[in-house]
Amino acid sequence: MKVYISADMEGVTGITHWNETDKLKGDYGYFAEQMTREVAAACEGARKAGATEIWVKDAHETGRNIDPSALPENVRLIRGWSGHPFSMVQGVDASFDALLFVGYHSWAGSNHNPLAHTMDAHGIQYIKINGRYASEFTIHAYAAASLGVPVVFISGDKGLMEEAKVLNGNMRALAVNEGIGDSTVSIHPHVAVEQMKKEVELALKENLDLCKIEVPKSFQIEISFAEHKKAYKASFFPGVKQLSAHCVGFETHDYFEALRMMAFVL
């Protein structure tokens, strides 16, 4: 079994403040370690389920947060950013049996996580796909779905679990945090690690085909920028139309074209 894990940080257990996500801040070290522990736990659960090849994408900010030495030896770790439109799932293709998301967070404009954002932490007010607010999870889950790869597991804040159910109610979901205003309520980090192992193992032992996400026949993308000048600039990308001072729209039947557009305008 070949498994892909995409890992972010704003949805790891206990994380609450931007300083805890920033490599240059003193609060960062502990949460980078917790991110590593949760990814290692997901890898262990995958191994117990029979995974013989595991790819991990370090998908937070610099792409250089996970301690490689803490991961199992059969893991291939993708660090940094290539610039490919698949972004947080760089390298995924139809050869993978399953995709897992660890440490993900709610969408920009939501109130489920003090660190809620989509792609650009401060420059994007929201991104909608076919009229629904979209998180980084949804954007990249559709990338996997376009290749026929099932999305079997997600961990992060409680609000994101509801978004995941809309895409496919069969995937396993582990809520480690709940955002309340500018605060969080979290389970114990050791409990999160143990539950991660268990839930990932169970997810990969079930009928993976039930976790395939249906790909819409067409995509209407709406992006609202915090600064109107960015919307104006984005409107010059082929196919992008300016909808208002801060918003642009894009329509396509090919999801890769939507990802290509976002790679250049965000």
pLDDT tens per residue across all 266 residues of the chain = 999 999 999 999 999 999 999 999 999 999 999 999 999 999 999 999 999 999 999 999 999 999 999 999 999 999 999 999 999 999 999 999 999 999 999 999 999 999 999 999 899 999 999 999 999 999 999 999 999 999 999 999 999 999 999 999 999 999 999 999 999 999 999 999 999 999 999 999 999 999 999 999 999 999 999 999 999 999 999 999 999 999 999 999 999 999 999 999 99
Please give the annotated binding residues for Zn(2+), written as ranges: 8, 10, 60, 105, 136
Choosing from 112, 117, 122, 188, the catalytic residue is 117
Q: What is the pTM of this model?
A: 0.97
> Which CATH fold topology does 2-121+135-211 show?
Rossmann fold (3.40.50)
Domain with CATH 3.30.1360.130 in the chain: 219-265
Please give the annotated binding residues, written as ranges: 8, 10, 60, 105, 136
> Which CATH fold topology does 219-265 show?
Gyrase A; domain 2 (3.30.1360)
Domain with CATH 3.40.50.10780 in the chain: 2-121+135-211
Q: Is 117 a catalytic residue?
A: yes
Instruction: Annotate 163-200 with b (16+ C-beta within 10 A) or e (fewer).
Output: bbeebbebbbbbbbbbbeeeebebeebeebbebbbebb
Query: By the 8 A CB rule, do 178 and 15 touch?
Result: no
